[in-house]
Structures are given as C-alpha cells and as structure tokens.
Structure 1
C-alpha cells in the first residue's frame, strides 16, 4: 500500500540546476575561479553546503565557509523570484491529497532556500513536512534524511516512493530502502540507475510512474 511520497527539491520539484550553476559561477568569479558544467555535475550538484564549501574553500575557516555558502544561496534566490513546478507535479500532489498519501520534502538545500523555492512555485503549504538535511545529524548521501522522512509520515520504506535527480540523493533514498524514481533533469538515466534508482522518468507525467502508483495502491 502506497502511503508516502518523499521528494527532493532542487532539480526534482523544479529544474534549478542552471540557476545554481550561475550563482556558483558568480561567487567563484569573485575569487578568480571558474566552474564548468562537468565539474558542477560531478562535484557540486545535490551536495550539502557544509562539506561542499569546506572542499571549495579549504583555506577558509568554518565561519568564512558558511558566509560564502550564504552568499551563494542569496545569489540563487535573487535569480529565482518565480519557479515553475516540474510537469505533472501538481497532478501528483492533487492525487496524493485525494488518496490521503503523505508528502514530504527531503532536501540538502538550506531552510531559506527551501522556503523560497516552495513559495516561488506557489507550493508553500502543500507539504506536511520540509526536512532540511543541515538540521539533521547527517545529510544525503547518508540515508538519515529519508529515514527521518519516513518516521515523520509514519510510513515504512516499502510503502513509499522517493523522487531524486542527483547521485547523493538517489544513494540516500535507495539506501533507506525506498523505491527510488530518478528525474533525468540534470544527469543521464545511466548515472541515476547506477546510483540505485529503480526507474528514471523525464517528469511526473510519465505513464510508467502512474502505472507504478496504481500497482502500489493495489
């Protein structure tokens, strides 16, 4: 019985990777550095800021790294006053509401970004819980954020679907034992499948996803 849907945010609920890349490039340009699309895909996308900025700015102390991360996220928010939900998302959320299926956001994004993005999509009140990994002991790719999401929704892993677009996210959700659906917004299907996704879709209108939902609903 399907009774929980857990969603990543960036690149899953809305396609934001290009905006994040622009924000990172702006920040790094201020420090005389560059970032290619390939480097962003391989080293940046989907990761929590704590570990990421420690790697990007190893000569800075933790307070400086946090300030740099905050500046990058402010740049991102400035670039995204309005965001479009992924095709089919509103349909899926409406289905979840009518069928009493719990919904939860599980993100490595900071709280300010999560609230901004949901508001920019007009989805501020649509999710029962918005779990921010930096407020937990460990971020993705650790399964803890998804295990916490299951607890919040009172669901077992076998009763849930997770939606992710990055390798850290897919790793986290699949390691938590959840059937993980990859969104091919930024990475090819092969990379998502190799990370543990059991299905890869272009968006939430994919007929295979709805067939899976029907099957799990019994």
Structure 2
C-alpha cells in the first residue's frame, strides 16, 4: 500500500541550488576572499547539513563562529529568494496525494527558518502536515534518521512510502531508511543519483515514468 510521500526541499520541491551557490560565494568572499566553483559546490556542499559543512569550510573557527557564518549565509539565501516556483508537476502530485489520502512530509537538511521561508515563498506553507528538520535531530542526512522520523510522523512503514530527493546525501538517507527513492535530476546527473540508490530518476514531477510508478504502487495496494 502506498500511504506516504516524503520530499526533500531544496532542489526537489523547487530548484534553489543556484541561489545557494550565490549565497555561499558572497559569504566566502566577505570572509576571506575565497571563491567557490560550481564543481566544488556540487561535490562538497549541495545537500549537506550546515553543522559539519561549516566546520570543514571554516577550519579553526569555533562552533559559535561557524553558527554565525551559517546564519549569515542562510540570511543571504532568504534575501535572494523572496518568491520561488514549485517544480513542474508538484502541485498536481500534492493534489493527487490529498485526493488519495496519502500523508506528505518534508524531510530537509535546511534550517527551520529556511524551510518555513521556502514553503511560504512557494505558497505551500499549508500543504504539508509535517516538516522534519535534520538539524533538530541527532544525525542529519546521509544518516537515515530524518527519513525514519518522517515515517514515524506519518505512521507509515518504509514499504508504504516514496521519497523524492535531488542530492546524493539525501538519496543515501532515504535509501538507507528502506524507502523507494525517486531522484530528481536538478542538481546531479541521473547516473550519480542511480549510483547513490535512486530507484527511478525524473526531471520533474510531470515525468510519465513517475505517474506510471504511482499507478503501479496504488494498484498493487
């Protein structure tokens, strides 16, 4: 039975990586004149939680300094994203889930302020029953804990769910939680998403392969 859909946020509900890259570039330039290439961002930054990431980016900084830098970066991101567009087909999928009685949940490595901002900027703040923020848990993605927590919120088993992810840490987390994971190819190549554990890769939520999968899962239930 398919009873639950779990969604990453950045790069999955809306394509925000370009804005995050801009924010990181501005922060690094302000801090010590460093540059950040697209390739470095894709390989080292995209999809990761801020805790370990900022400790690596600013080696030698205290935890308090790293938190202040992370707060500055996220404030820059929010200033760059007053309005955001949902990925094509997302509203159709959310309507389908609602009509079918499926639970839906956001599972994100983003801070809660960002999650609230982004859902509001897309006009989706009222659409999600639960928002799981990895920073508020013991372990972020790529650990499966955020997705296991999302399943608990929805009273669903892994076999009853689909997860949607665009990043390699996110794919790894959902796959490790035992959830069939749909990779969204906004930030990574289909090949890398499949290698990380995606069972299907789509460009957006209008993909015929996604709707065929949904029909198959619902019919099987």
TM range (shorter): over 0.9
- Look up the match of 1:39: 40
1:92-113 Cα offsets, whole Å, 9 max, x none, are 0000001100000000000000
**Runs of 4+ off more than 2 Å:** none
1:16 matches 2:16: yes
Give secondary structure in 1 for the equivalent of 2:132.
strand
1:171-210 to 2 correspondence within 5 Å? 171-210=172-211
Q: Normalising by the residue count of structure 1, what TM-score does the alignment of the two structures yield?
A: 0.99
1:51 matches 2:55: no
How far is the alpha carbon of 1:193 from its aligned partner? 0.4
How far is the alpha carbon of 1:65 from its aligned partner? 0.1
1:72-119 Cα offsets, whole Å, 9 max, x none, are 000000000000000000000000001100000000000000000000
How far is the alpha carbon of 1:18 from its aligned partner? 0.1
Give secondary structure in 2 for the equivalent of 1:87.
coil
How far is the alpha carbon of 1:32 from its aligned partner? 1.1
How far is the alpha carbon of 1:197 from its aligned partner? 0.3
CA RMSD, Structure 1 to Structure 2 (Å):
0.4
1:106 matches 2:107: yes
- Look up the match of 1:155: 156
Q: Hey, what's the Cα distance between the residues in 1 that align with 2:100 and 2:94? A: 10
- Look up the match of 2:119: 118
Q: Hey, what's the Cα distance between the residues in 1 that align with 2:174 and 2:132? A: 13
Give secondary structure in 1 for the equivalent of 2:107.
strand
Unaligned runs of 5+ in 1: none
Q: Hey, what's the Cα distance between the residues in 1 that align with 2:26 and 2:131? A: 28
1:4 matches 2:4: yes
How far is the alpha carbon of 1:68 from its aligned partner? 0.0
Unaligned runs of 5+ in 2: none
Q: Hey, what's the Cα distance between the residues in 1 that align with 2:12 and 2:51? A: 21
- Look up the match of 2:71: 70
1:35-72 Cα offsets, whole Å, 9 max, x none, are 00000000000000000000000111000000000000
Q: Hey, what's the Cα distance between the residues in 1 that align with 2:138 and 2:215? A: 35
* Residues paired across the two proteins, number: 218
Give secondary structure in 2 for the equivalent of 1:203.
coil
- Look up the match of 2:218: 217
How far is the alpha carbon of 1:142 from its aligned partner? 0.1
Q: Hey, what's the Cα distance between the residues in 1 that align with 2:20 and 2:64? A: 22
Q: Hey, what's the Cα distance between the residues in 2 that align with 1:54 and 1:17? A: 20
Q: Hey, what's the Cα distance between the residues in 1 that align with 2:131 and 2:187? A: 23
